[in-house]
Amino acid sequence: MSPLATGRQQSNGKAGDSSGDVSQREERDYTVRAVQRVCAILNLLQESVDGVPLPALAAETGLPKSSAFRYLWTLENHRYVERDPDTGLFRLGLGFVGMQSRHLEVLRERARPWLEHLRDEHDESANLGLLDGDQIIYLDIVESKRGVRLAASRGDRDPLHSTALGKAIAAHMADDRVRELLEQSGMEQRTPNTITSIDSYLDELAKVRRVGYAVDNGENELDGRCVAVPILGTRLPAAISLSAPSARFTVQDVERAAAALKKVAEHLGTMPVADDAPHED
């Protein structure tokens, strides 16, 4: 009798049934427990804005710290969880961005009147951007009314490394995650001013964290300048910016624009939904 036939005969026997059923039940039970534990971890992280330390996460989910860490490590590998390298806190990662279309639409709706306010105040184009994969996607653009202006179109994409929006968002990510994204996308030299070294880019992010805003000085478009700040507190990797031709938007204009952007970003990150529109002072 062939090995295949022998195997079939054993599977039809009583002993084969018993051991097979037990094995299948054990495997099925393990899979269910694993999914339940992952859900418990993600639910806990979803409820936290600042992040959760490993001991608290293990205690809340009833897992040993070693098991909780293994789950977190796997989720981090798939970008569903990220760890703050300074505080050690765990929070939801970028893997969920594509699943939060409703949150993105709410953010866009809330940001629109503020972008218009920025455009009217500075007479330059205002932008709302989001990190999507390893690129920046423009969720909304309010173009300057001037004949000569610097503006992308809604849905356009630009690199993480050469844009102020990208720098503003990346400055609040772990350095090892930024390295991973830059290695994945490459650092195309868009202009002679583009930063093309990962270490130099990380140095630039350190400066962004110090001053609280990011600047693109002709790095994405040779004749363009852009200043951006992140929108914190939304759980989305988003930022807003003002952009204009560099001849008109001077280095001296940057700090004034950054101060205005910071105020708007603070409103977008904290204001109640009922208070969507900017108010005149």
Instruction: Answer whether CATH 1.10.10.10 is correct for domain 3-92.
Output: yes
Helix residue spans in the chain (DSSP H): 3-12, 14-46, 54-61, 65-77, 101-122, 164-170, 175-185, 198-211, 251-270
pLDDT at position 5 is 38
pLDDT at position 6 is 35
Among residues of the chain, what percentage have pLDDT more than 90? 49
pLDDT at position 263 is 95
pLDDT digits (tens, 9 = 90+) for 45-56: 877 766 899 999
End-to-end C-alpha distance for the chain, whole angstroms? 91
Mean pLDDT, the chain, as a whole number?
Answer: 83
Q: Which SS3 state, helix, strand or coil, does residue 98 take?
A: helix
The residues that bridge with 87 in the sheet, in sequence order, are none
Residue 191 has pLDDT above 90, yes or no: yes
Read off the pTM.
0.66
| Mean local confidence (pLDDT), 121-148 | 90
| Mean local confidence (pLDDT), 129-151 | 86
Structure tokens at 232: 């914190």
Query: Which residues, other chains included, contact 60 with Cβ-Cβ below 8 Å and sequence gap of 6+?
Result: 40, 44, 52
Domain ranges of the chain: 3-92, 98-275
Q: Which SS3 state, helix, strand or coil, does residue 76 take?
A: helix
Alpha carbons 59 and 101: distance in angstroms, whole number: 32
Q: Which numeric CATH code is attached to 98-275?
A: 3.30.450.40
Of 112-121, 240-249, 262-271, least confident by mean pLDDT is 262-271
Nearest residue to 235 (alpha-carbon basis) of 41, 19, 46, 31? 46
pLDDT at position 120 is 94
pLDDT at position 150 is 76
Residue 81 has pLDDT above 60, yes or no: yes
pLDDT at position 274 is 41
Rounded to the nearest 5 degrees, what angle is found at the Cα of 270, between the Cα atoms of 88 and 255?
85
